[in-house]
Amino acid sequence: MKRIAQDIKDNKFSHLYLLGGDEAYLRKQYRDKLKNALVPDGDTMNCTVYSGKDINVNEVADMAGTMPFFAERRVIIIENSGWMRSPDDKIIDIVKNIPETTYMIFVEEETDKRSRLYKAITANGYAALCEMQDEAMLKKWIMGLLKKENKTITPDALNLLLDRTGTDMENIRREVEKLVCYKYYDEGITEEDVSSLCVVRVQNKIFDMVEAVAQKNQKEALDMYYDLIALKEAPMKILALIARQFNMLLQVKEMRQKGYPESDIAKQTGLNPYYLKKKYIPQSARFEVSQLKNALTACVEAEESVKTGRMSDVLSVELIIVGLSGRY
């Protein structure tokens, strides 16, 4: 990211940029920063955006070969095309022979460093990975957002905010905006403010539900399930999240037993290092490998019961929670 910031500062740009990685907020931020630096504000003639899996590559080729209209540059933004995994030969040809006045920004959630398009872009431009940020970086960023609004936050409130929002920066930004508006006339944000205002993610509720299962607290686990149903969450979505949670715990458990360092576990599972250390490792320690495998089998059987019509979706998830919390 420092490279992009330096390019903007120096007003010297590569003709090709790729913004990839898991953090959508950062991809969007750097896309907009590059666009604003490359194209004058309000110039809609020389900036074209293509999005989705059905982009017409011939249209992109024609646009890339068109001279800018009374401007220095023509900018083409391509978002979530899927070309990083299965590129069209023509787009690779465009990248390798990009005109002097054309600048292309690829914004892709899914990237593959082995693909021909990725290699062509990096050979002729710059690729930046917008990865999930760790706890320290997120806290620093949140403090920066609040400082701009002349607000402060207590350490306990900051920790609770991250617990409730997760590590998704767009979600964090929305919750920070709510807190700033809520505390319009006050400077300090407290733990009570966060508790009152910030929404707990469904994934966090699932984590707490599995925690209740691990502690054999059947009533608490069921209460959490009923709360999710009251919030109109689909039972099959809840079941899928429960299965995902047990699958993650199984991966963490097995890799820990094999002596993998936390950095490798985080990379292979895709878990944020902050949550891996704080939540997943401690929770996985409360289960045996056989228990986690049995839980996954139970989730598969519950899904099959619903799909074959033997049981309703609400009841199937309720029974799996009862079975798992009683079994352990």
Residue 328's pLDDT is what? 42
Q: How does strand 102-107 pair with strand 126-129?
A: unpaired
Distances (CA, A) of 309 to 171, 180, 304: 37, 48, 8
Q: Does domain 135-197 have CATH number 1.10.8.60?
A: yes
Question: Which tokens sit at 327?
Answer: 């079994």
The whole-angstrom separation of Cα 207 and Cα 242 is 8
How many C-alpha atoms does 71 have within 13 Å on its Cβ side? 20
Question: Which tokens sit at 310?
Answer: 């033997």
The whole-angstrom separation of Cα 275 and Cα 252 is 12
Residue 34's pLDDT is what? 95
Helix (H) or strand (E) holding 304, with range, is: helix 289-307
Q: Please name the amino acid found at residue 182.
A: Y
- For the chain, where do the domains classified as CATH 3.40.50.300 start and end? 2-129
What torsion do the CA atoms of 273, 276, 277, 281 make, to the nearest 10 degrees?
-160
For the chain, how far is it from start to end, CA to CA, in angstroms? 47
pTM: 0.67
Question: Which tokens sit at 149?
Answer: 């609004």
- Class (C level, CATH) for 202-327: mainly alpha
- For the chain, where do the domains classified as CATH 1.20.272.10 start and end? 202-327
Residue 2's pLDDT is what? 82
What torsion do the CA atoms of 25, 26, 30, 31 make, to the nearest 10 degrees?
-50
Residue 41's pLDDT is what? 83
The whole-angstrom separation of Cα 38 and Cα 33 is 9
Distances (CA, A) of 311 to 314, 315, 324: 9, 7, 18
- For the chain, where do the domains classified as CATH 1.10.8.60 start and end? 135-197
Question: Which tokens sit at 321?
Answer: 């929670």
Question: Which tokens sit at 154?
Answer: 């207590």
User: In this structure, which topology does domain 2-129 adopt according to CATH?
Assistant: Rossmann fold (3.40.50)
Helix, strand, coil share of the chain (percent; to 5): 60, 10, 30
Q: Please name the amino acid found at residue 175.
A: E
Q: List the pLDDT tens digit at each of the 328 positions of the chain.
A: 788 999 999 989 999 999 998 888 999 999 999 999 999 888 889 999 999 989 999 999 999 999 999 889 999 999 999 898 887 889 999 999 999 999 999 999 888 888 899 999 999 999 998 887 888 899 999 999 999 999 999 999 998 898 888 788 998 999 999 999 999 888 899 999 998 888 777 777 888 888 888 888 889 989 989 988 887 888 898 888 889 889 999 999 999 999 999 989 988 888 878 778 888 999 999 899 999 999 999 999 999 988 898 989 899 889 888 988 875 4
